[in-house]
Structure formats: C-alpha cells, structure tokens
A and B are shown apart, each in its own frame.
Chain A
Amino acid sequence: MIVGERKPMEEIEAMIDPFEKIIVLGCRECVTVCSAGGEKEVGILSAALRLSREQKGRTIEIKEFALERQCDHEYIEQIRSMVPNYQAVLSMACGAGVQFVAEFYPEIPVLPAINTNFIGVTEEQGYWTERCQACGNCVLHLTGGICPVSRCSKSLLNGPCGGSSDGKCEVNKEIVCGWQLIIERLKSLGQLERYEEYIPIKDWSTSRDGGPRKVVREDLRL
C-alpha cells in the first residue's frame, strides 16, 4: 500500500488560512489502512482545525467527506455538486489522489494534508516500512524475494557495500543491510549460488529516470 502521514498542523493551518469553507476529503484506500487519511482521520483533522480556528475568534465550515478512492474518475465525480459551494479541498489522499482531484476541479485549490512516504507494508499495528520503489523492472526472483532497490540504501544490485557491518547499514544502525537479508534468505532457500550470479547494470529508464511513466492496456481500453 501507499504509506503516508499527516503534515504538521502548523503547515496545514497556514495552507487553509485564507479559506472559510472547505471540504476535507479522505480516501478509503491505502491511507485508510495506514491511518493517515481515512474517514476517521478526516474527523480528527476537521475537529482539530475547527478548534484551532474558533480559538482565534474565526470560523470555518468544514464538509467532512471520504471517497472510495481519489485515483479513479467515478469516485471523484461524487463531489462535483459539492465543490462550487466551497473555497478549497483539503485532500487527505496520497499525492496521486490530490493531483487527480485537482485535475477534475481546476476552479478550486486542492491542497495536500498528508505527506506521501512510500510503498510499504504494515509490520505491526502502527508500524509501516518501505518495500518497493516502483522501479518498473522487478528483480525479486533473483534476490530471494528481498528487494535490493528498496532495502539497500544504495540500491546496489551485486552484494553489500563496505558500509555493511553486523548486518546493519552505515546510513543508520537501525537500518538492516538489505544485502545481508538477501544472503541469509538465499542460504535458507539453498540458493546461495545465485549470489555468485552477476546482475547486469539495471536499465533505470523504467524507473523515474525515464520521466513520468504510464501503463497502457489496449485490450482493456474502451
């Protein structure tokens, strides 16, 4: 899932300062699961914003709403009749959601309430970690199911660097060395010989280096 976290209140308050009627728009997908921008977080943020405003002697009218997704046309359409009655949309979706809502409603400012962090997993309740950088060319079959692109700080493809010590990364002792994990996993799979295989230089054009990406499936297009 896409993992995010709410921006500091100060930043959000500054963003919405000129407005008196806003929609706080949640998303029921990834950001609901990581408790950053779901229906509940919409309620909490809206309550905090009202408290903050009212104590300054100002008012704010907030429409609390959550869409099934903010990355699909049909759901974004659901707020079309609402939008003309408000001055801004404060979206609690990931960066993709914020932008897509903005594309649909060019007449109204659409502001981000959360910072989008990474594609990751829930290790335990309240604890999320990164697993994928969407490089567009998966090598997990070669590396024991552990991603060297996202788990190694340098995204090295052939073994750990000199900064790996006691299984930890030199960037931060809390980061486990991705390549240490890969070697241990290959050992337990009885595939350590794979470690000897050389992975050629990766073509990063499928990643961000090739500019904004797209996927087109002609069989699915209408």
Chain B
Amino acid sequence: MSEESFEPKIVAFCCHYCAYTAADLAGSMRLQYPPNVRIIRLPCTGKVDVLHLLRAFEDGADGVYVAGCMEGDCHFINGNFRAKKRVHYAKKLLDEIGFGGDRLEMFNMSAAMGPRFAEVAKEMVERIKKLGPSPIKKAKAQKGGDES
C-alpha cells in the first residue's frame, strides 16, 4: 500500500447528545467530510471503555476517536470527563507498547457544531494519513512482501 493511496479506516465513538447529532447536522448542512470515518453511537461517551478502544485497533482501525459533549455540558453530568480519563489511559498504554497513542484522540463538541464535526473528521484523517497505516497492517504488508 503506497502512502499516497492510503485511505485510513477511522472509528469514531460519538455521544448521542452531541457529536452524533452534530454529524447529523453536518449532513443536513451538506458539509463534505472524508468518508473514512465510521461512527459508533453511544448513549454517552461515559459508556466508552479502554477495551472498546483497543478492540477497534485490533479489528483494523488505523485511528480511533471519541467525541463527547463540551466540558461541563454532559447530559449525564460527567460522562465526558470519564471518557477523557479512559482515552488518556488507553493512549498511554498504546505508547507503552509502541503502537502510538497519537492514533487515539478525544474531542468535544456540541450538537449545534456540525461544521466542527466535519473539521474534526478531516483533522483526524489528515493526522492518520501522516502516521500511515496501523502498525499491524504495516507488519502484515511487510510480511506479505517478504514472503512473495
């Protein structure tokens, strides 16, 4: 896979009360954003667990992000703060194993921020394009190349 043709697979865990609705709004506003982002709707980002984030990478995601409400605006009071801490823990773990914590990020936005949703999607796709395919895919490609 050449760097230029690399289209990352990105999983976005989005809160129903903000980012998911913002994605809806982005659609209604006919805003363009990269199709690389796969959205998973959560009742609150407080539902997200370190295990979900790691499993997404295991199942082939090149990048993962969690998008929750603005700080202080969580529908469940502090779910987004909990998510922030878990994302931080998972980033540290990914750094520890040399996978790269940069592939994981937490964003905050309100339901009215359709343009911000599109911007975040673009930002994340650009970041992952720069980082290249997930180290697992790189290793597999190299192995395939060595064997052939």
A residues neighboring B (CB under 8 Å): 8-10, 13, 40, 43-44, 47-52, 54-57
Q: Are B96 and A54 in contact (CB under 8 A)?
A: no
**Cβ of A9 and Cβ of B51 under 8 Å apart?**
no
Inter-chain contact A47/B139, CB cutoff 8 Å: no
Task: State the interface size on chain B (CB cutoff 8 A).
Answer: 21
CA distance A48 to B99 in the complex (A): 9
Interface residues of B (CB under 8 A from A): 49-51, 54-55, 57-58, 93-94, 96-99, 134-136, 138-140, 142-143
Return the contact of A52 from the options B50, B98, B140, B143 (Cβ within 8 A). Answer: B98
Determine the residue in chain A with the shortest Cβ distance to B141.
Answer: A57
Asked if B136 and A44 make an inter-chain contact with CB atoms under 8 angstroms apart, the answer reads: no
Residues of A within 8 A of B138 (CB): 55
A9–B93 CB distance below 8 A: yes
Interface of A is mostly: helix
**B residues near A49, Cβ cutoff 8 Å:** 97
Nearest chain B CB to A51 CB, angstrom units = 5
Q: Is the CB of B97 within 8 A of A51?
A: yes
Of B54, B98, B135, B143, which one neighbours A47 at CB under 8 angstroms? B54
A47 and B94 alpha carbons, distance in the complex (Å): 11
Q: Which residues of A contact B58 (CB under 8 A)?
A: 47, 50-51
Contact A51 B57 (CB under 8 A): yes
Report yes or no: B50 in contact with A44, Cβ–Cβ below 8 A: yes
Interface centre among A8, A49, A57 (most CB of B within 10 A): A57
Among the interface residues A13, A40, A48, A56, which one has the most CB atoms of the partner chain B within 10 A?
A48
Contacting residue for B142 out of A8, A9, A13, A57, CB 8 A = A57
Closest Cβ of chain B to A44, distance in Å, is: 5
